[in-house]
Amino acid sequence: MKILSTLILIFTLAIGTAQAQKFITKTGHVRFFSSTPMEDIEAHNRQVNSALDQQTGDFVFRLLMKSFQFEKALMQEHFNENYVESDKFPNATFTGKVTNIKDIDFAKNGVYNVMVEGDLTIKGVTKKVSEKGTFEVKDGKVIGKSTFNVLVEDYGIKIPGAVAKNIAKSIQIDVDVNLEKLAK
Amino acid sequence: MKKKWLIIIGGLATVGIVTALLVYFFVYNKPHKDYSKAKPDFEVEAIAFFEEFRTNAAASSTRYNGKVIAITGLLSSVEITDEQVVAVFEIDEGMFGSEGIRCVLIPEKAEALISIPPGSSITIKGHCTGYNETDVILEHCSIVI
């Protein structure tokens, strides 16, 4: 009996571990976009880390603020030095969950709508967010996409009066990550 | 008398226009720093540099973030995608797979890297954007000969 229960335990653990498949990327893409009548500003970060746990739906992002590239060097400087103070707050993170992870069949190619909830931390300020996105399952890979907005003042980012007309209060964020199975 | 005023006004206008153009080109529209020509603020060895961040991220970030770093180490691999070429120093294993240093190449400088076999000792320099708890990231990188 003891041998049988030990075997069952090992078997269960083996299945459990095998199912805890992680999908990751280190080159995720996050773009933010601000549009006002005065000007459009956008920046791209292509060094975004992201990980998805297939079983639990745990979904995390981590990026370095200094990795946002702007077309205008002066804008990049202002962004880092004045708006997000990237010397003080080098990272932005999201820690959350895909709440409907069970709806996704990772073995079947297709586009699935996902609901993601969690904590978004920018400039040391954490806020709960709940956003929609899509997961495209394609030959064992997961392409995650989402577009949502954040209010800059929610994260303690103050826009000086002089440029208030140039920078939108609500910034559009586009997320595009190609997640691949983490080799064991 | 009238001619003198015209000359003065004309002169002031020219100075004004020239100043505006200078501000436009050198301040507002100033070019991005050419990191391939920049002198390194620090010259470091790959493993030691990574360990500094892993041991004390806050102190290392204060010291190195935003600076030009020249790193010498054994090249582990090169990742090539449509969007970028990344030289990777793999130093340890972690939650995200390998951990170490990732150097994103300036597009024009990427070709020099492709002919270097993995395992070779290289010196690569770039702009340190920080440590994301997994890797130290350098951008605008170029090989130092």
Min Cα separation B126/chain A (Å): 12
CA distance A33 to A18: 40
| Min Cα–Cα distance to chain B from A112, Å | 24
For the stretch B9-23, pLDDT in tens is 999 999 999 999 988
What's the domain count of chain A? 1
Cβ–Cβ below 8 Å for B130 and A49: no
Strand B85-94's sheet: what is its strand order?
B42-45, B68-74, B121-131, B135-143, B97-105, B85-94, B77-80
pLDDT over 90 percentage in chain B:
81
What DSSP string runs through B68-130?
EEEEEEE--EEEE-SS-EEEEEEEEEETTEEEEEEEEEPGGGHHHHHTSPTT-EEEEEEEEEE
Quote ipTM for the complex. 0.86
Q: Which of A47, A51, A86 sits opposite B137 (nearest CB)?
A: A47
Does A160 fall in a domain? yes
In a domain, residue A1? The reply is no
Mutate to test the interface with A, among B34, B35, B129 (most CBs of A within 10 A): B129
pTM for this predicted structure: 0.88
Residues 19-58 of B with CB under 8 A from A: 27-33
A33 in any annotated domain? yes
Query: Hey, which bits of A139-169 come out as E strands?
Result: 141-151
Tell me if residue A159 falls in helix, strand or coil. Answer: coil
β-strand A22-35 against A40-53: which pairing, if any? antiparallel
Average pLDDT over residues B62-66: 97
Residue type at position A97:
K
B-chain CB neighbours of A74 within 8 Å are 27-30
B31: nearest CB among A63, A73, A182 = A73
- Does the beta carbon of B145 lie under 8 angstroms from any beta carbon of chain A? no
Residue A15 lies in a domain: no
CATH number for the domain running over B42-143: 2.40.50.140
| Chain A partners within 8 Å of B79 (Cβ) | 27
Neighbours of A2 (CB within 10 A): 6
B115 CB-near residues (< 8 Å, 6+ apart): none
**Cβ separation B97–A73 shorter than 8 A:** no
One-letter identity of residue A96:
G
Give me the residue from A24, A26, A73 closest to B30, CB to CB. A73
* Cα separation, B25 vs B92, whole angstroms: 45
Strands B68-74 and B42-45 come out as parallel
Nearest to B92 by CA among B76, B107, B103: B76
Each residue's pLDDT tens digit, A71-111: 999 999 999 999 999 999 999 999 999 999 999 999 999 99
User: What are the Cα distances from residue B87, in Å, to A9, A30, B71, B96?
Assistant: 43, 21, 11, 17
pLDDT, one tens digit per residue, over A115-147 is 999 999 999 999 999 999 999 999 999 999 999
> Are the beta carbons of B97 and A63 separated by less than 8 Å?
no
d(CA B102, CA A177): 18
Question: Is A4 a domain residue?
Answer: no
Assign residue A88 the CATH number of its domain. Answer: 2.40.128.110
How many angstroms away from the CA of A120 is the closest CA of chain B?
15
Inter-chain residue contact A74 with B62, CB threshold 8 Å: no
pLDDT of residue A8: 66
DSSP B41-58: SEEEEHHHHHHHHHH-HH
Q: CA–CA distance from A4 to each of A1, A7, A12, A13 (Å)?
A: 5, 5, 12, 14
Nearest to B123 by CA among B84, B86, B69: B69
Decide if A6 is inside a domain: no
Q: What is the pLDDT of residues B67-123, one digit of tens each?
A: 999 999 999 999 998 889 999 999 999 877 899 999 999 999 999 998 899 999 999
User: Concatenated DSSP letters for A72-89?
Assistant: SHHHHHHIIIIIS-TTT-
> What are the chain B neighbours of A47 within 8 Å (beta carbons)?
102, 104, 129, 132, 137, 139
Task: With respect to residue A60, please indicate whether it lies within any of the assigned structural domains.
Answer: yes
Report the residue count for chain B. Answer: 145
B67 touching chain A per CB within 8 A: no
Phi, psi (deg, nearest 5) at residue B143: -75, 135
In a domain, A3, yes or no: no
